[in-house]
Structure 1
Amino acid sequence: MNSARTDRSPRRRFQLRLAMLVALGVFAQESVWNFHDAQTPVTLSEYTTSVALIGLIMGLDNIIGIFVQPLMGYMSDRTRSRWGRRTPFIVIGVPVAALLFVLVPLAPTFPVLIAIIVLFSLTANSFKPLTEALIADNQLPEHRSKANAVGRFASGLTIIVSALLSLFVVDESVELAYVISAVVMVACFAILLVSLRESRTAAYRAVVDEDRELGREGTGFFAVFTDIFADRDRSRLFMIAAVIVTWGAWAAIRALLTLYGVEQLGLSRGEAGGLTLPASVAFLVVIIPVAILSDRYGRRRMMRIGIVVFAVGALIAFVFNTSTVATLSGVLIAAAGFSGFAVNATVMLWNLAPSQRLIGVYTGIFAVAQAVGSSVAPAALGALVDATDWSFLMLFLTGLSLVGLLLTFGVRREYAPSQLAEQEKYVEAERGE
């Protein structure tokens, strides 16, 4: 008995090397998206003075992602090839997206520019969930929060990279800045795919072995969603709703904070824009320790604690809503709290998926919930501010976060029993590595 336990434990360790490799892919794609969000609106402004039109075009990536990401996740779940499940789509998508990205500042006319942006969004959205799915593919469920934290930390660093490109390169040559961003993405993905060799990983071999046992016939695309709504255990449904609400609260504070600083605190535009910096730093500092605690003490517990801390931070900012220092402190606390939710939300959906073979489509479902929350919440809270006053923004955020907290209590389990049973196949497959 003891020897069996000793024999099994090394194979259940956190796969740090794989987490770092996949984080490189997350860094690669998010660095391009961040630069796109920062600089493409300026490129659009050379052709139109309509801020509404610019906002609509820039929002197309969210709309496209809602339809493309779950479908591509599902297609990759069903793919078996000598390259693996996710790799074939990434190998095709990355160079095409990079080429389209380089063409953005070179577009000769406004219609051509719109076409390039739409095609870039379509292509980049097609492999975005697959990169993130690799996080779950290559870790046992008990270690996925740590792996996800490494990925989110890498994602956070891309904000700095985008800012540096904007600061040191854009004014000299905006075309060169787009090229550098695209080359970084291609190089990072090349390192990831060559080093990972997905088809040789334990995760891929376990899936192939399961195919031999159960056959390739799997759950249909629409059946995945039917299963979520029809299941008597509403854990997955409540988790998706919690993502929409809580991620929406975070998106709202990021979208409206600069305006809040100008309108409520009387800051200049530049000073107000700096309010998000301490929050970003706090998020990066605490996210990995929070992930370690989550894997040890439970994800639902850490999510709930995180949302409570978020609400406390927003409430502090509301109570002292004329103080810049109090606002900074409140937002910093809120960001630290949100990390408890951010690092676990995707992982909860991965672990609640009925099979390891559906990780891709569940990554896409998370992306849809995130996009819906990020689109609806800022608009809804903005409407409430219009109806009242800027001084109430932080109170509205507190209320919205508490709704998210209540929804987490509908999540009654952290793992799908069927996926836990698949762990043994993963462990057996690791013996071949």
Structure 2
Amino acid sequence: MAGEPKTMLPPDEAAAPDKGAKLWRVGTLVYTTGGLVVLFIWLLGGDFAWAIKDRSASQMVLLMLKKFEASDFLAGLLVGSLPPAIAIILGPIISYKSDRHRGRWGRRIPFLLIPTPIAVISMAGLAFSPMIGTHLHEILGARSPGANTLVLLSFAVFWMLFDFASITANSIFGALINDVVPVAVLGRFFGAFRALSLIAAIIFNYWLLGKVEAYHVWIFLGIGILFGIGFTLMCVNVKEGEYPPVPEVPEGGATGFLAASLEFLRDCFGKPYYLLAFVTIAVPAIAFLPANLFNIFFAKSLNIPMDDLGKWSAVMYFVSFVMSYPLGVLADRIHPLKLALATLVIYGLVSLWGGFFITNQTTFFVAYLACGILGGVWGTTTASLAQRLFPRDKFAQFLSAAGIVTCVSQILIGPALGVFLDLSGHVYRHTYLVGFGLTVLCLLCALRLFSMFQALGGPANYQPPR
């Protein structure tokens, strides 16, 4: 089984050589090179299933929202703000519970396995939302607010259910990787992780994006079933190690939800260093959001066929795919924070150019490809940044705290940008200028974080603050 320890010895004994074989260790898990390869296969298989769902769902929903005459504000609200709003509520609760859960299946797998069927059911609901809305319109007759309104309402309900399942699992997936993948190969792992994610993006954009409006039912259902099977197989075959017992509450100490909330806030938001780390991780996510969220609408405003957009997207993802594993190796050799600084400088310049010079299909694709590839470089090189900055024993809750900062930012920017575009006559070129401003903010935060990181030991001797 992948992830099953070769031995369960204490750390110093587990690191001892076994007849000259190289061993890889994380916690109580010890792998031979072959065992590590098997672990990677199962984790990457689960990630591919996750990626094909993640890469396709929001784009398909945006296309269907546009087809049924949703406003930019509604699109920004549902796709840009609703997921982070749910994440703010669910993320800390799920991560706190997971860090302290001890069971036969480990502390991560149950929180990944349970939401999987919910995600599959919600994908089916999204597939049939046009039929559901139309049927409700016929039933309500004169009392109906309109067929399109009911279709959009159905999309909103199932999208909310989909977000609930996805966010629950997403809060824990990174923590599982942190628990079972050795630190020495995290960059390579995330490089391979990124490569499979990009393959999923290429498949969807090159062959399926242009067909979504005509065949949305079959595409939603097929992707939902693929995700359900692939993610379940990963959960069943990846085994966690043993964890130290959960610290007992001191006699007379507070217990319950309030005590847990106070502990979470004290641990995660009580030190300026972690606050700066959260902002550095969060701001790029929203800096890349303005252009990414409305690129489909931008393309439509320039009369670009969706099939062309899909194929150019596939080219972009293929370039990122070729770069992904080398970038992962580079992240292991050069700390992700250093690579992040260089990427942000280049991305800021490209987005500034796009904000002024995108006027036709050619300039659109130049900016779209350049920003997309640079966003991929950021995603690959910084994929292991949280694992390298946050304490391992409470990693999930620190990751969810970073998610809260990201989510609050996304909640604010999605609808605000949608309203701005509605009022400005849908000049989507402005989204690149917004991205430039956010990139400058992120660069300033990253520079300060790097200075503090160096003071804490730097890449060679770093110890997270306690």
Question: Structure 2 length normalisation: TM-score?
Answer: 0.71
Q: Which residue of 2 is the match for residue 408 of structure 1?
A: 446
Q: Which residue of 2 is the match for residue 357 of structure 1?
A: 393
Asked if 2 retains the 8 angstrom alpha-carbon contact of 1:321 and 1:391, the reply is yes
| Counterpart residue type for residue 39 of structure 2 | L
Q: Which of 248, 263, 268 pairs up with 1:228? A: 268
Larger helix proportion of the pair: 1
- Structure 2: where are the runs of 5+ without partners? 1-14, 26-30, 137-149
What SS class does the counterpart of residue 11 from structure 1 fall into? strand
1:350-429 superposed matches below 5 A: 350-354=387-391, 356-377=392-413, 383=420, 386=424, 394-411=432-449, 412-413=452-453
Q: Which residue of 1 is the match for residue 201 of structure 2?
A: 159
Asked if 2 retains the 8 angstrom alpha-carbon contact of 1:291 and 1:344, the reply is yes
Separation in 2, partners of 1:155, 1:250: 17
Structural RMSD (CA): 4.1
1:190–1:374 Cα change, 3 Å: same
Asked if 1 retains the 8 angstrom alpha-carbon contact of 2:336 and 2:385, the reply is yes
Q: Which residue of 1 is the match for residue 161 of structure 2?
A: 119
Q: Which residue of 2 is the match for residue 22 of structure 1?
A: 43
The Cα of 1:131 is off from its aligned counterpart by 2.2
- Superposed CA deviations along residues 305-347 of structure 1, whole A, max 9, x for unmatched, are 1112212333454575557556544543433433343235453
Asked if 2 retains the 8 angstrom alpha-carbon contact of 1:294 and 1:344, the reply is yes
1:151–1:300 Cα change, 3 Å: same
Q: Which stretch has the larger CA shift, 369-378 or 214-223?
A: 214-223
- Superposed CA deviations along residues 330-388 of structure 1, whole A, max 9, x for unmatched, are 5434334333432354532233222x232222332343344344444466667499499
The Cα of 1:296 is off from its aligned counterpart by 0.4
Do residues 284 (structure 1) and 318 (structure 2) align?
no
1:36-115 superposed matches below 5 A: 36-40=57-61, 49-51=69-71, 52-53=73-74, 56-58=77-79, 59-106=81-128, 107=132, 109=136, 110=150, 114-115=156-157
Asked if 2 retains the 8 angstrom alpha-carbon contact of 1:20 and 1:150, the reply is no
Asked if 1 retains the 8 angstrom alpha-carbon contact of 2:287 and 2:434, the reply is no
| Counterpart residue type for residue 230 of structure 1 | G
Separation in 1, partners of 2:65, 2:355: 36
Asked if 2 retains the 8 angstrom alpha-carbon contact of 1:261 and 1:272, the reply is no
Do residues 32 (structure 1) and 53 (structure 2) align?
yes
The Cα of 1:82 is off from its aligned counterpart by 0.6
Do residues 241 (structure 1) and 279 (structure 2) align?
yes
What SS class does the counterpart of residue 24 from structure 2 fall into? helix
The Cα of 1:410 is off from its aligned counterpart by 2.1
Q: Which of 172, 180, 183 pairs up with 2:225? A: 183
Asked if 2 retains the 8 angstrom alpha-carbon contact of 1:70 and 1:361, the reply is yes
- Superposed CA deviations along residues 249-308 of structure 1, whole A, max 9, x for unmatched, are 211121344555676xx5546498466554433333323222211110111111111112
1:118-267 superposed matches below 5 A: 118-163=160-205, 164-165=207-208, 171=214, 174-198=216-240, 204-205=241-242, 207=243, 210-211=244-245, 220-231=260-271, 234-258=272-296
Separation in 1, partners of 2:426, 2:70: 27
Separation in 1, partners of 2:63, 2:433: 33
1:278–1:250 Cα change, 3 Å: farther
| Counterpart residue type for residue 182 of structure 2 | L
Asked if 1 retains the 8 angstrom alpha-carbon contact of 2:209 and 2:306, the reply is no
Separation in 2, partners of 1:154, 1:165: 17
1:228–1:124 Cα change, 3 Å: closer
1:273–1:62 Cα change, 3 Å: farther
The Cα of 1:246 is off from its aligned counterpart by 1.6
- Superposed CA deviations along residues 82-138 of structure 1, whole A, max 9, x for unmatched, are 111111122222123323332344445446665444333223322222223222222
Q: Which stretch has the larger CA shift, 123-132 or 297-306?
A: 123-132
Question: Structure 1 length normalisation: TM-score?
Answer: 0.76
- Structure 1: where are the runs of 5+ without partners? 199-203, 424-433
Asked if 2 retains the 8 angstrom alpha-carbon contact of 1:26 and 1:151, the reply is yes
Q: Which residue of 1 is the match for residue 141 of structure 2?
A: none
| Counterpart residue type for residue 245 of structure 2 | D
Separation in 2, partners of 1:285, 1:269: 26
Identity of aligned residues (%): 18
Asked if 1 retains the 8 angstrom alpha-carbon contact of 2:194 and 2:380, the reply is yes
1:316–1:224 Cα change, 3 Å: same
